[in-house]
Structures are given as C-alpha cells and as structure tokens.
C-alpha cells in the first residue's frame, strides 16, 4: 500500500500538525519512545501524525476516510502506548495517529476532564491537591484510553467497579468526522459500548471521569519466599468469599522470576487500603506473611500520586514484553494448579536473556461487579451473579527478538493448559480482559454473544461505513 498520496492529502488539510516521516532519526526516536514494548515499536509506520485538538482529529478522519473506503489507507491510534500486543496501536507501513499532544486536565463539578494524550500521573497530582481521587490506572505512566475503553483496574475497583464504569462522558470523533459526546443522556448506547469496546467506534479525544473525596491511603509492596505463596492464595480466596469483606482493599498477588533474585521464584503482594488507616487489620494476613525480604517492603501511608509513581516502576526502554490472561472462580485448588503449570513452563526458558515474568492474581470481588451494574453497566458481560472471580495474568519481559517464539510459546501453552485444568474443575470463567490480551486471544468474543451483537449494532449505527473496522485493523475487531 503506497500511502504517499494519503500523507500528501493529510499534510495539505492539516498544515499546523506535526508529521514525522519514516526514514528520519526523529521518526525512529518517537516510535521507540511511544511504546512500552519493543514488540510494538519494532513495527514501523510510514508516518506518525500528532494532532493537538479534537478539530484536527476530525479533519484527519474526514481526509483519510475516502482513502480507507478505496482500500488505499489504514491507520492505528495510540495514546499512552502501554499495551504490548503487537499492532494494537501501531501499524506497519501505515499511519499512526499519536494522541500524545492532546493535553489538558480540568477538575470541576465532580468530574475530572482528561484529554486523550495525558497520563495518569499528572491527573493524580492535580486531584491530590484538592483532596480528591478517581478511578484510574495504578501506574502514573499509564495512558488514559487503553484502560478507560477496555475495563481497567484501579486502587478503588473493589468499591467503585472498573475504570470505564466511572467515565461519565466520552468525547469522540466518529467515522464521519463528527465530534460527539457519549454519556447516560446522549448517545447512551455508544457510551455503554465504549465501556469495554476498545478502538472500534472512533477516536476518543477526552474522558470525563467521576471524582470522589480521597485522602492518604495505606499501601505498597512486599516480597516473600515461594513456600508461603500457597497459604497466601488460600487467604486471598477466603477474603473474597467473606460475606462482610471490606470494599476498601485492593489486592494483587504474584509469583515472579528474575535472575536478579536467583534461580527460584519469589512472591510479591501489592496491597492497598483506600482509607487513611495505618496497618489496617483487613490487610494483616497479607502484610505479615513470613519470611519476607525486609529491605523490599514499601508498605506506608501515601497519597494517590505517590502510589501511582511506585507502581509505574522502571521498565527498561525497548524491553520486549507481552501479556496474556484468563479468569477463574475464586478457588484455591484451581489457582494453585495454575501456579504449577506456570512454573513448569518457566523452567526451560529461565536462561533467556533479561527474562522477568510473573503469574499475577488480581481479584474482582463481587462488590466490584455490583458497582459496575449500578453505574450503568458496561460491555464486559461480567454479571454479579458470578460471585468473586480472579484474573490470572501472565506478564513477561525479555531482551532478544530471537527469544520471542520460545517465550511466547511457553506461556501460551501454559495458558491453554490452565484453561483446560480450570474448565475440568468447573471453575473457568469465559472472560478475557482486553488490556492484558495477546493477539491470539479474543476478548470481545468473551463478552458473550449478546454483548458482541450489541457492539456490532452500535458500530453499524455510529460507523456505518466501517471506518474503524477496515481502516483501523489493529486491536480486537467486532466483525
């Protein structure tokens, strides 16, 4: 596909907009810097376009549309660039619409309005100044759109639901180039579809997210040794099955491997309590696990901005990375069987250069699913009648392209084995979380036939010519 004519037309239509063309050092640097994973930045677009306003995005869509319909152009949309699935927000030889210069954060009337190019760190800095919080990424480096269009977990998910459930309005440029709003009163079907529907409906240029009062919280991370992991999994399941469990906790539990810690796996708990209570009893069983690696315990009082900075960590630039996931009922035997399957897959690839990987458990308490339903619902298909469930994510980072097949193959095999095992126990939940999905997974299909059909209906209504199906091939499509 020769996109030179398309680029020329776009340059004429958008004389004030920054175009970065392939073959320049600036293009290479921008493409590398935009993405967390080298699986994404290895993809080289013909051109990267960086609009600053919704009007420029609208002009972009109107200009590229005839070329898409003629089969002469395709594009990708990228915000924060954290999602590692190759091609979900970048495009070989096409045009990447980079939203990074769409800036602006405004707090008023119980909302924070966030432009699509922002990251969560600056949002939290502004909210903390006013004694406020919102449902957003746990990492200050995370972009807005990937989470707010796919579900999204926050420090407050047990109480508030998914991040998308607190998006009260999406400002979106549709396939026609029209700028529309989607909320409970205006384009309500599109609003619900965007809560989980990914990049299938338009270019979202602003997110209006509900705020709430939020002071300091208690939280951090602690590391401990592999033999204690099973008893912590038991404690996690027990907590999820308690009828009177607090909604103020946010728990993540991982078994991980990095050569830096030696040949054995090491466990980590990331624990948060959303109230300003030091050492809350609700976290005792997870915070007091023994033996711990004492100098790596970060549990303390902190504000939301500090918590997100700690979570952001430091992933080396151009590190290769991938995520894949499944979901199961909160069941000890299923989660521990998964642990063994994951460890078996890890063993033959431990020597791969720079390998860091984890088996990460993130619970969705029943209260989280109930909060989603009360806030207008979403597209994910997770009914509160499921009870508490656990997201199992396989996260992996490594150095060399030559190891891609071996590492991805090992963990894909483990994921399939765990799905078979969980299914045989009657504990598998047919749900795949879009933001932790790899290319072979089908998150949209996992929302259920009725939800997928509704997403397709909304797509035909708001994008009848299929601009965001044909013209944006990356990510997970509806048709």
Return phi, psi of residue 270, to 5°.
-115, 120
Return phi, psi of residue 286, to 5°.
-90, -30
Residue 311: the pLDDT is 87
Residue 313: the pLDDT is 72
Residue 375: the pLDDT is 97
Return phi, psi of residue 53, to 5°.
-140, 160
CB atoms within 10 A of CB 344: 13
Residue 312: the pLDDT is 78
Q: Provide the token pair at 54.
A: 């919704």
Q: For residues 269 and 255, what is the distance between their CA atoms, to the nearest angstrom?
A: 9
Q: For residues 201 and 445, what is the distance between their CA atoms, to the nearest angstrom?
A: 16
Q: For residues 234 and 7, what is the distance between their CA atoms, to the nearest angstrom?
A: 57
- Residue by residue, pLDDT tens for the chain (479 residues) are 789 999 999 999 999 999 999 999 999 999 999 999 999 999 999 999 999 999 999 999 999 999 999 999 999 999 999 999 999 999 999 999 999 999 999 999 999 999 999 999 999 999 999 999 999 999 999 999 999 999 999 999 999 999 999 999 999 999 999 999 999 999 999 999 999 999 999 999 999 999 999 999 999 999 999 999 999 999 999 999 999 999 999 999 999 999 999 999 999 999 999 999 999 999 999 999 999 998 999 999 999 999 999 987 766 667 999 999 999 999 999 999 999 999 999 999 999 999 999 999 999 999 999 999 999 999 999 999 999 999 999 999 999 999 999 999 999 999 999 999 999 999 999 999 999 999 999 999 999 999 999 999 999 999 999 999 999 999 999 99
Q: How much is the CA Rg of the chain, to the nearest whole Å?
A: 22
Beta strand 320-329 pairing with 389-398: antiparallel
Return phi, psi of residue 204, to 5°.
-80, 125
CB-CB contact of 327 with 429 (8 Å): yes
CB atoms within 10 A of CB 296: 14
Residue 238: the pLDDT is 97
Helix (H, G, I), strand (E, B) or coil at 236: helix
Q: For residues 375 and 3, what is the distance between their CA atoms, to the nearest angstrom?
A: 43
DSSP string, 138-191: SSTT-BSHHHHTT----TTHHHH--GGGGEEEEEEE-TTS-EEEEESSSSHHHH
Name, in order, each residue with C-beta under 8 angstroms of 335's C-beta and a sequence gap of 6 or more: 233, 236, 237, 328, 361, 390, 392
Residue 294: the pLDDT is 85
Q: For residues 156 and 478, what is the distance between their CA atoms, to the nearest angstrom?
A: 30
């Amino acid at each position: 596909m020769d996109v030179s004519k398309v680029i020329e037309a776009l340059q004429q239509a958008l004389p004030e907009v920054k175009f970065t063309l392939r073959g320049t050092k600036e293009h290479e640097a921008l493409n590398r810097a935009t993405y967390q994973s080298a699986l994404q930045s290895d993809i080289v677009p013909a051109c990267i376009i960086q609009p600053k306003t919704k009007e420029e995005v609208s002009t972009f869509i109107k200009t590229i549309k005839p070329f898409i319909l003629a089969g002469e152009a395709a594009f990708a949309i990228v915000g924060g660039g954290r999602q590692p699935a190759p091609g979900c927000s970048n495009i070989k030889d096409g045009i990447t619409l980079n939203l990074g210069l769409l800036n602006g954060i405004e707090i008023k009337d119980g909302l924070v309005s966030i432009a699509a190019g922002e990251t969560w760190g600056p949002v939290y800095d502004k909210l903390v100044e006013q004694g406020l919080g919102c449902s957003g990424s746990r990492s200050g480096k995370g972009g807005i759109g990937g989470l707010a269009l796919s579900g999204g977990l926050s420090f407050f998910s047990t109480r508030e639901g998914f991040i998308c459930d607190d998006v009260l309005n999406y400002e979106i440029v549709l396939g026609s180039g029209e700028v529309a709003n989607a909320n409970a009163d205006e384009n309500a079907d599109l609003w619900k579809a965007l809560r989980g529907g990914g990049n299938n409906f338009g270019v979202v240029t602003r997110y209006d997210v509900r705020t709430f009062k939020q002071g300091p919280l208690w939280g951090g991370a602690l590391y401990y040794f592999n033999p204690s992991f099973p008893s912590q999994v038991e404690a996690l399941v027990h907590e999820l099955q308690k009828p009177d469990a607090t909604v103020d906790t946010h728990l993540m539990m991982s078994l991980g491997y990095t050569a830096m810690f030696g040949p054995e796996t090491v466990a980590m708990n990331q624990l948060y309590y959303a109230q300003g209570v030091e050492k809350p009893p609700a976290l005792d069983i997870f915070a007091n696990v023994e033996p711990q690696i004492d100098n790596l315990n970060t549990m303390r009082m902190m504000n939301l901005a500090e918590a997100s900075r700690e979570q952001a960590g430091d992933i080396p630039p151009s590190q290769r990375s991938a995520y894949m996931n499944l979901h199961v009922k909160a069941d000890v035997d299923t989660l521990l069987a998964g642990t063994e399957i994951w460890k078996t897959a890890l063993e033959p690839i431990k020597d791969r250069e720079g390998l860091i990987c984890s088996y990460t458990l993130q619970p969705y308490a029943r209260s989280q699913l109930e909060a989603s339903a009360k806030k207008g619902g979403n597209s994910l298909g997770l009914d509160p009648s499921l009870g508490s469930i656990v997201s199992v994510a396989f996260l992996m980072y490594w150095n060399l392209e030559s190891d891609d097949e071996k590492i991805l193959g090992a963990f894909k095999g483990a994921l399939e084995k765990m799905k078979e095992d969980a299914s045989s126990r009657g504990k598998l939940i047919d749900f795949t979380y879009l933001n932790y999905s790899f290319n072979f997974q089908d998150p949209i299909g996992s929302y259920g036939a009725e939800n997928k059909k509704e997403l397709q209906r909304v797509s035909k209504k708001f994008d009848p010519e299929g601009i965001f199906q044909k013209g944006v091939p990356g990510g997970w499509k509806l048709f």
